[in-house]
């Protein structure tokens, strides 16, 4: 059974399908998490990750690779663990690196796109860093920046438009 079928079976309540997903994905997830977390934290994050897989399997869209979807859940769980244990953990370090060459190209593209937003330390860049690189909740970002959560959302919308434009070579402005 492929991963997509397993996710559907998990959504239908099949415990053995969840066990199969765990057996297929737990080892590589743990290796990636261990790069940035203590071993006891990895165990906790892994457990929370597969509980979240169990609970959210019905919301899996079927688009993309199941392993990437599970990795996204694991990254969020790791970020929650780091916040609750007062341990900063940049999520860029938790990024799945499949192909070093394409990752390098993406990094250059992202650096160019971020430069289009403004200089390092700029409030918009700080917003992007906190939301997308540190995976902080919007309310926390709003508190840190001293602005309402609605303002954070509208600035994110504008900044995403600008990033998209920079990454696609368009001329969109804020």
For residue 115, give the CATH number of its domain: 1.10.10.10
Q: Domain of residue 34: give its range.
A: 3-94
The number of folded domains in the chain is: 2
Task: Tell me the C-alpha distance between 111 and 124, whole Å.
Answer: 14
pLDDT per position as a tens digit, 48-68:
999 999 999 999 988 778 888
**Position 134 in a domain:** yes
pLDDT per position as a tens digit, 116-144:
777 877 888 888 877 776 667 788 889 88
Task: Tell me the C-alpha distance between 152 and 145, whole Å.
Answer: 9
pLDDT per position as a tens digit, 64-97:
788 889 988 998 999 889 888 887 665 545 554 4
Same domain, 46 and 82: yes
The better pLDDT of the pair 161, 49 is held by 49
- DSSP for residue 119: S
- Integer CA distances (angstroms), 81 to 4, 8, 28, in order: 28, 28, 19
């Amino acid at each position: 059974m492929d991963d997509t079928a397993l996710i559907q079976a998990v959504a239908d309540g099949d415990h053995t399908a969840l066990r199969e997903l765990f057996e297929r994905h737990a080892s590589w997830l743990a290796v990636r998490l261990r790069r940035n977390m203590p071993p006891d934290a990895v165990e906790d994050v892994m457990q929370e990750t597969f509980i979240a897989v169990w609970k959210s399997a019905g919301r899996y869209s079927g688009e993309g690779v199941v392993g990437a979807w599970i990795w996204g859940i694991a990254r969020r769980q790791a970020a929650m663990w780091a916040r609750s244990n007062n341990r900063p953990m940049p999520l860029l370090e938790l990024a799945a690196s499949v192909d070093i060459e394409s990752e390098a190209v993406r990094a250059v593209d992202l650096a160019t796109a971020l430069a289009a937003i403004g200089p390092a330390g700029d409030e918009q860049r700080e917003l992007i860093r906190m939301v997308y690189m540190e995976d902080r909740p919007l309310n926390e970002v709003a508190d840190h920046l001293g602005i309402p959560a609605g303002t954070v959302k509208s600035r994110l919308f504008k900044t995403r438009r600008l990033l998209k434009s920079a990454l696609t070579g368009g001329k969109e402005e804020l």
